[in-house]
């Protein structure tokens, strides 16, 4: 069974959900970041799409862990970018280092998953 486009779509939706949940949190609770309604709209739409995928399709082995990793990566990437844009929020060193470590872990898991799945 080869990795399908729907699996990649699930991972992309998890990344967007992580970005938008951190964007929503920053827009609502941070006085430094200007308010915007678009992260909230993106969050609602991605959570709805992920819920529909969960209801209509079974997840292959290993995909839930990768989805969680992509979600955390989205949260960390948004935090890194916002802290680079608004230095008053603090240093972005820790989220940037964690993002790089997580990208390498995701790459290792996806390569390992590709070798485990028969074609």
The structural domains of the chain, with segments of one domain joined by +, span 5-116
What is the mean predicted confidence (pLDDT) over 85-110?
Answer: 93
Taking 70 as the threshold, does the pLDDT of residue 104 lie above it? yes
HSE value, Cβ hemisphere, 13 Å, CA-based, for 112:
10
Percent with pLDDT over 90 in the chain = 66
Which position has the higher pLDDT, 61 or 82? 82
Are the C-beta atoms of 35 and 5 separated by less than 8 Å? no
Q: What are 77-91's pLDDT values in tens digits?
A: 999 999 999 888 889
Which position has the higher pLDDT, 30 or 74? 74
DSSP state of 1: -
Q: How far is CA 98 from CA 9, 75, 94, in A?
A: 23, 11, 6
Closest CA to 96 of 73, 68, 118, 116: 73
SS3 state at 4: coil
Q: How far is CA 37 from CA 76, 77, 117, in A?
A: 20, 19, 41
pLDDT bin (cut points 50, 70, 90) of residue 115 is: confident
Concatenated DSSP letters of 20-45: HHHHHHHHHH-SSSPP-SHHHHHHHH
**The total number of residues written for the chain in this structure:** 119
């Amino acid at each position: 069974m080869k990795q399908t486009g729907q699996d990649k779509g699930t991972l992309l939706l998890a990344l967007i959900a992580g970005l938008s949940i951190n964007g929503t949190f920053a827009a609502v609770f941070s006085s430094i970041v200007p308010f915007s309604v678009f992260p909230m709209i993106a969050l609602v739409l991605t959570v709805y799409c992920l819920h529909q995928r969960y209801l209509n399709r079974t997840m292959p082995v290993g995909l839930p862990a990768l989805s969680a990793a992509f979600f955390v990566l989205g949260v960390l990437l948004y935090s890194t970018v916002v802290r680079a844009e608004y230095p008053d929020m603090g240093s972005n060193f820790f989220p940037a280092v964690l993002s790089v470590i997580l990208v390498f872990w995701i790459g290792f898991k996806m390569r390992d998953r590709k070798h485990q799945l028969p074609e």
